[in-house]
Structure 1
Amino acid sequence: MNWLMVVLGALAGAPLRYLTDRAVQVRHTTVFPWGTFGVNVTACALLGFLTGATTAATVPPALQHLVGPGLCATLSTYSTYSFETLRLAEAGAKFFAAANALVSVLAGLGAAYLAGALATALLG
Structure 2
Amino acid sequence: MIWFIGIGGALGASSRFLLGNLLNKKSLFPAGTWLINVTGSFLLGWLAGLHLAGQISEELWLFGGVGFCGAYTTFSTFGYETITLLQSKKLKTAVAYITASLLAGGIAAAIGLLI
Task: Output the TM-score relative to the length of structure 1.
Answer: 0.88
Structure 2 residue identity aligned to 1:59: I
Distance 1:47 1:102 in 2: 20
- Among residues 104, 112, 115, which one is paired with 2:112 in the alignment? 115
Structure 1 moving runs of 4+ over 6 Å: none
Distance 1:60 1:15 in 2: 24
C-alpha RMSD of the superposition:
1.1
Structure 1 residue identity aligned to 2:11: A
User: Which runs of structure 2 are paired with 1:55-66 in the superposition (5 Å)?
Assistant: 55-66=52-63
Partner in structure 2 of residue 47 of structure 1: 44
Distance 2:36 2:71 in 1: 10
Structure 2 residue identity aligned to 1:5: F
Structure 2 residue identity aligned to 1:69: V
Identity value in percent = 31
Q: Structure 1: where are the runs of 5+ without partners?
A: 119-124
Q: Deviations over 1:59-115 (max 9, x none)?
A: 110000001110001000100100000100110110011111111011111000011
> What count of residue pairs does the alignment treat as equivalent?
115
- Among residues 29, 32, 45, which one is paired with 1:32 in the alignment? 29
Partner in structure 2 of residue 77 of structure 1: 74
Task: Output the TM-score relative to the length of structure 2.
Answer: 0.95
Structure 2 residue identity aligned to 1:44: S
